[in-house]
C-alpha cells in the first residue's frame, strides 16, 4: 500500500478532504489532524475498518478507542444516560481537547469500545477534521496515529515516519496546536473522574462541575476505561531517565557520561545549568510550550546520535500534571 499525503493548502483543501472522505467510506484508514495530536481514523460503525486501526498501530485489542464527532447533536446519538453536568462540560469545553466517557447507545462497532458498556467521545477543535466529519456523516474512531508505545505524532511527517505503507492516506493539517492527547473524563458517576490528564486541567473542570476525582491507572488483568491508562506510552527510541530531584540532575549526567554513553539533556527550567552533555535542549518554561514541544523533541533523538536522554522533571503544579504524566510514562527510569 502506498500511503498518500493529502495537502490542505487553500487550493487543495476541498479536494483533499473529499479524497479522505472517500477512503473512509470505503473502509480504509486515514490519519487526520486534530488540535491535540494526529489521529488514525476509521468509520467507527464499521468493525472491519476499525480492525485496520489496531493492525496498523500494533495496538492491544483491549484498549478502547475514542470516537470523534462534529457536534453536540451528533455526540448525543452515540451515548445515553447523560448526566446534567455533562452538558455543562460540553458547552464549556467542546469543541476542544476533552473526551467524555459515557454509556454507549451501541451504535458503534463493538471493537471500538473493547467490550465495555461505555464509549469515549469528543468534538475536536480543528477546522479540517470538522469539515471531514461533516462530509462523512459518521463518527470516526481515531487513536493517536503512531505505532503503539511511540511518542504521539504532532505533524503529518511523524505519521509518515511510523505508518508509511500501513494506511491509505494522511490528511496534512500542519503542526498540532496543543501537542498532547485530550483530557479524558468518566461521566458515568455523580462526580466525574479524570481518567487521563490533558490540556484541560482538574482545576478547569472543577470550575464547571464543582468536584472531580482523579483515577488511578488500570492494573494487569483489568480492561482500561480510557487510552493511556494501562500500557507503556510515548517512549522515544533511546532510554529516558526522568530526574525529579533537581539536585541529582548533574550527577546523573556525569554518571552516564562516565559509562561512555552519549547524553541528551531536556530541561524544563530556564535557570537550570548543566555541563558534560552531548546535547542540551530547553523543553520550555510554560506548560503550553512544553506540551507543544514534547513529542517533537522525543522523536528527534535516535540511536545514531544519542544513547540516553536525561530529562529534568517540571515543577509540579496543576498546569504541568499532564506533561509530568507523559514523561513518567515515557521514562525508562525515574530518579527521585
pLDDT computed for residue 285 by the predictor: 85
Spatial contact of 70 and 123, defined as CB atoms under 8 Å apart:
yes
Q: Where are the alpha helices (DSSP H) in 13-94?
A: 13-25, 47-57, 72-77, 84-93
Instruction: Give the pLDDT of residue 314.
Output: 94
Q: Looking at residue 276, what DSSP letter applies?
A: S
Residue 225: the pLDDT is: 57
The 3-state DSSP class for residue 101 equals strand
Cell of 287: 506548560
Strands 4-6 and 263-267: unpaired
Cα–Cα distance between 85 and 91 in angstroms, integer? 10
| Dist CA 164 CA 284 (whole Å) | 31
For the entire predicted model, the pTM comes to 0.93
C-alpha grid cell, residue 182: 485530550
The alpha carbon of 326 is separated from its chain's Cα centroid by a whole number of angstroms, namely 10
Q: What is the per-residue pLDDT for 213?
A: 96
Number of C-beta neighbours around residue 80 at 10 A: 14
Domains belonging to the chain, first-starting first, are 4-214 (3.90.870.10), 240-335 (3.40.50.11030)
Per-residue pLDDT of the chain (336 residues), as tens digits, is 899 999 999 999 999 999 999 999 999 999 999 999 999 999 999 999 999 999 999 998 889 999 999 999 999 999 999 999 999 999 999 999 999 999 999 999 999 999 999 999 999 999 999 999 999 999 999 999 999 999 999 999 999 999 999 999 999 999 999 999 999 999 999 999 999 999 999 999 999 999 999 987 544 444 555 555 555 678 899 999 999 999 999 999 999 999 999 999 999 999 999 999 999 999 988 889 999 999 999 999 999 999 999 999 999 999 999 999 999 999 999 999
What contacts 118, CB < 8 A, 6 or more positions away? 101, 102, 103, 104, 186, 188, 225
pLDDT digits (tens, 9 = 90+) for 23-63: 999 999 999 999 999 999 999 999 999 999 999 999 988 89
Amino acid at each position: 500500500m502506498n500511503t498518500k499525503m493529502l495537502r490542505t493548502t487553500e487550493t487543495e483543501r476541498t479536494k483533499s478532504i473529499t479524497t479522505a472522505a472517500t477512503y473512509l467510506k470505503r473502509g480504509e484508514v486515514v490519519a487526520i489532524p486534530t488540535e491535540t495530536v494526529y489521529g488514525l481514523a476509521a468509520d467507527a460503525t464499521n468493525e472491519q475498518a476499525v480492525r485496520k486501526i489496531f493492525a496498523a498501530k500494533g495496538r492491544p485489542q483491549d484498549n478502547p478507542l475514542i470516537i470523534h464527532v462534529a457536534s453536540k447533536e451528533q455526540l448525543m446519538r452515540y451515548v445515553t444516560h447523560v448526566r446534567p453536568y455533562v452538558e455543562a462540560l460540553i458547552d464549556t469545553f467542546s469543541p476542544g481537547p476533552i473526551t467524555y466517557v459515557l454509556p454507549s447507545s451501541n451504535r458503534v462497532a463493538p471493537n471500538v469500545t473493547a467490550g465495555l458498556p461505555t464509549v469515549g467521545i469528543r468534538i475536536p477543535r480543528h477546522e479540517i477534521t470538522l469539515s471531514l466529519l461533516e462530509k462523512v456523516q459518521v463518527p470516526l474512531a481515531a487513536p493517536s496515529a503512531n505505532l503503539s508505545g511511540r511518542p504521539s505524532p504532532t505533524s503529518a511527517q511523524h505519521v509518515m515516519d511510523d505508518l508509511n505503507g500501513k494506511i491509505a492516506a494522511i490528511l496534512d493539517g500542519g503542526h498540532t496546536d496543543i501537542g498532547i492527547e485530550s483530557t479524558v473524563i468518566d461521566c458515568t458517576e455523580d462526580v466525574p473522574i479524570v481518567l487521563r490528564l490533558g490540556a484541560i486541567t482538574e482545576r478547569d473542570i472543577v470550575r464547571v462541575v464543582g468536584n472531580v476525582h482523579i483515577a488511578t491507572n488500570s492494573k494487569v488483568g483489568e480492561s482500561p476505561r480510557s487510552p493511556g491508562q494501562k500500557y507503556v506510552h510515548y517512549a522515544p527510541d533511546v532510554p529516558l531517565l526522568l530526574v525529579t530531584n533537581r539536585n541529582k540532575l548533574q550527577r546523573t549526567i556525569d554518571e552516564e557520561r562516565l559509562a561512555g554513553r552519549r547524553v541528551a539533556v531536556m530541561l524544563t527550567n530556564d535557570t537550570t545549568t548543566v555541563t558534560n552533555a552531548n546535547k542540551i535542549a530547553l523543553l520550555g518554561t510554560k506548560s503550553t510550550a512544553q506540551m507543544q514541544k514534547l513529542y517533537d523533541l522525543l522523536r528527534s533523538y535516535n540511536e545514531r546520535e544519542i544513547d540516553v536522554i536525561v530529562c529534568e522533571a517540571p515543577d509540579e503544579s496543576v498546569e504541568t500534571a499532564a506533561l509530568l504524566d507523559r514523561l513518567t510514562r515515557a521514562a525508562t527510569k525515574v530518579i527521585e
